[in-house]
Amino acid sequence: MATSIIHRLETEGHNIRVFSRKFKDSVRSKQILGDIFDFNEFVRVISWNPDVIIHTAWVTTQGVYAHDPSNHNYSQFTSNLAKFIAQSEVQHMIVLGSCAEYGPQNRPSVAGITKLSPNSVYGEQKVAAFRSARDLLCDSSVRLSWVRIFQPFGPGQDKRRLLPQLIEALKGGQKVVLKDTSSVHDWITTRDIASIISWIIRKNTPIEIDAGTGIGYTNVQLLRHLENFFENSNQWKRFEVQDPGTALVTIVGNDSPLFLSGWQPSDSLDSGIKWVLDS
């Protein structure tokens, strides 16, 4: 996700510095390797006084991240960063949050309106970090943008995620397994997320932002769309249609502040899947 954001901002001509643990081959901007948890070292790196800091770091390892103890460390880092920025020349702090902050919902979520009710350590610590950053920056001149990412996908995604697993199974002629056929998810490409970050930098958007498309798909519907790119593949028909009235819904609402500000996604689910398959 961070790479897509970097590429977008590079094409727009921004002067960028990238701080990360690993070198990114496709990035043209200056890169600095280090550990954010060595905070004293980290703040020395940002002494070049950027106008905007985009914080994308958090534990996201599939099967681990939801209840990993390191969530507390990332939350504390976010608070420390906000406290530092409040006394700096930085004008804008952008942090990637998560739809997990909303917890289980049975209707679309709207930033600033839907109650934050996380049911995982990951979601709880994202909320704690958000509230801390908001409080630390509220009396400063620093603008805060908290961007809750819904269901991201794009080239190079962790192979343990659902879409890469489905692609691998279909390419290998294997039987697809879907454990959840009723929940509805809002799939958004990483390049549309990058577009959102660019939009937020340029526009006067509120603190809380939902990053999604406003369109939801069950995993069965996702599989059906994916199978349209594979000849004679119709495994989606094996799965029963669940009662939508009992489904968990993880979708951005139509009244979300981002949509009201004028932003719209460029990718559909199909164009996003094609991007992934062609990459």
Spatial contact of 157 and 140, defined as CB atoms under 8 Å apart: no
44-48, 68-72, 189-193: segment of lowest average pLDDT? 44-48
Q: Is the pLDDT of residue 245 over 70?
A: no
Average pLDDT, the chain: 95
Domains and CATH numbers, the chain: 155-186+214-279 (3.90.25.10)
3-class secondary-structure state, position 119: coil
Higher pLDDT, 244 or 206: 206
β-bridge mates for residue 95, sequence order: 55, 146
- CA nearest 129: which of 46, 44, 58? 58
Give the range among 23-32, 158-167, 252-261 with minimum mean pLDDT. Answer: 23-32
pTM of the model: 0.96
Tokens (6 digits) for 222: 């996702």
**What are the residues whose beta carbons fall under 8 Å from the beta carbon of 226, sequence distance 6 or more?**
163, 166, 167, 170, 273
pLDDT of residue 43: 86
Q: Examine the pLDDT at 137 and tell me if it is beyond 70.
A: yes
Q: Predicted confidence band at 240 (pLDDT cuts at 50, 70, 90)? A: confident
Burial 117-152 (b: 16+ CB within 10 A, else e): ebebbbbbbbbbbbebbeebbeebebbbbbbbbbbb
Q: What is the pLDDT of residues 16-58, one digit of tens each?
A: 999 998 998 889 999 999 999 999 888 888 888 899 999 999 9
Per-residue pLDDT at 246:
65
**Taking 70 as the threshold, does the pLDDT of residue 249 lie above it?**
yes
State pLDDT tens for residues 80-131. Answer: 999 999 999 999 999 999 999 999 999 999 999 999 999 999 999 999 999 9
